[in-house]
Amino acid sequence: MIFIAARFRVLAEHADAWPEITRSFTEATRAEPGNLWFDWSRDLEDPQEYVLIEAFQDDAAAAHVQSAHFKQAQADLPPYLEKTPRIVNFQVDGTDWSELGELAVNR
């Protein structure tokens, strides 16, 4: 799978509205064939910082960046951002999260 983590620095005046601003893009991406997950989190110490964790089956990531909703997001989202998002991506084996054995829960 292609695993992607991206950090978005949202302008302060739009930070609380970011989930709604990105809602249609998020919903369309989650509905794509081959999307494994597409999840936003907000930094607990810096409310302007959002992290997007996403994963795609290997062949689906290219289709994602060619989709109409991705192209629309490229046009719509930058005005709400303080700076260009930062990204890390990797190709990894599997199609799901692995367990964190060091914190195993035995119930």
Domain ranges within the chain, ordered by starting residue: 2-93
Q: Please give the Cα distance from 83 to 87 (Å, whole number).
A: 13
How confident is residue 68, by pLDDT bands cut at 50, 70 and 90? very high
| Model pLDDT, residue 59 | 80
Q: Is the pLDDT of residue 73 over 90?
A: yes
Sequence-ordered list of residues with C-beta below 8 angstroms from that of 71, at least 6 positions apart, any chain: none
Q: Is the pLDDT of residue 9 over 90?
A: yes
When pLDDT is averaged across residues 26-42 and rounded to a whole number, the result is 97
Classified by CATH at the fold level, domain 2-93 comes out as Alpha-Beta Plaits (3.30.70)
| Model pLDDT, residue 85 | 98
Other C-beta atoms closer than 10 Å to the C-beta of 64 total 20
How confident is residue 47, by pLDDT bands cut at 50, 70 and 90? very high
Backbone angles phi, psi at 39, to 5 degrees: -125, 130
pTM summary value: 0.92
